[in-house]
Chain A
Amino acid sequence: MNLASETRNDVVIIYVKEERLDAHNSTELKSAVQKLFEDGKKNVLVDLKDVRFIDSSGLGALVSGFKNAISHQGNLKLSSLQSQVKSMFELTRLHRVFEIFPSTVEAVENFQS
């Protein structure tokens, strides 16, 4: 899976550079996020700008990351969801769970506040 990352103001941003986040590649994202929290990072932002398609496994990997954040007293937020990807969060009520921001800039600002 193609993931890029950068750190901005103590927030680790993971960019999912894939068109699809599905059962074929979601385990890699799950492991990458898990490792960040295990390594002591507290603030993780997953940016989904390039993701055009997400399935239940992709949603599950993000839920796992969210739970990992809680168990490590950290935060996991999301940014830049395409409209159809966002509708999957709404269908599964996960938009009530995740803090979702239109851009990485807005998300990073929110971590600071």
Chain B
Amino acid sequence: MSVYQYSAIRARQAAEHDVFVFAANPKEVLEFAQIERVGRSDDGQLKGFQRHQIASHIRDIRDYLSRADALLPNAVIVAFIEGVTVRDVGDGRLEVSIDARKTPPGFVVDGQQRLTALSGLDKPDFQVFVSAVVCKNYDELRQQFVLINSTRPLPKTLIYELLPTVEGLPQRYTSRRFAARVVERLNFTGGRALRGEIRQHTNPSGVISDTAMQKLVMNSAAHGAIREFIQYEDREDRAVSLINEFFEAVATVFGGQWVGMSPRVSRLRHGAGIVAMGFVMDLLHSSQGATTKDGFVPGLELLKPFTAWTSGTWKMDDCEFVWNDIQNTPSDIDLLTRHLVSATKRQLRKLRRAANA
């Protein structure tokens, strides 16, 4: 490990950032920059950001770059927080010095597959362009990563999982971002019904689909109970608590149809069941004022006889379905939602009539 020196060209962009480009040997790049892949530390904190490598992709790149006439005009992008000093030598040119004596200070933001492919090739004189950006802190660096990569298909689940930690994203991400944060909290700090049960990029052993849970949050935040929390500063806490309490009630009422089940054997744990039950949560919240497990249990007990999560048939208006015919499609979710919500409403009306009589 050593100190690397390059001549670079600076580009005038945002005033608070240094952006410059230089040519370097891929092996050097991998010595002054690390590829930090996404994962979780032992206490559940998100770390890193890069996706995992795709072998076939690397193979394809390597096949091409091994040719004598191969060119790689597009730059790899490396972000720094520290460990780099630049000296202006005029005319937009810089002298760059990267101190990698202790640890590689840079992070590869884009081009990891290319670097990996090149590092396995015997082409010592082949250089790549390095486009470097200096960031204030790690969060800003992660923001750069998402912004740079959001034009190209990263796995959606990874993007969603990174969203809660990223600031300054385009508007279209904000409702997803809120939902992702709520789901992350439910998964890593929630009650027994949901903790560790949601499948995420960093929790592959979970079984409940994270996108279904996010959909539940987004539906409720757009038009349901969570929307009503909008005026509160602790909206997110309230959302986490409401969903947590609701699913504690679900686990209590539906017992073995929830606990330990996989979506394959229980439609209650399936994407369609999760999203549809979100509307039951909104209904019980608005009509019964339910916010706690005990508040949700009576309504769910009323609903229970009309469900067929693990066996039997769903009896809807004028049709019947075998329990596992429900698929994770918008029209099935819509159908199941309507059935669950109407059945609950009908039972609540019956109760009210009986109470008034």
Q: Do A and B bind each other?
A: no
Q: B residues engaging A (CB < 8 A)?
A: none
Q: A residues engaging B (CB < 8 A)?
A: none
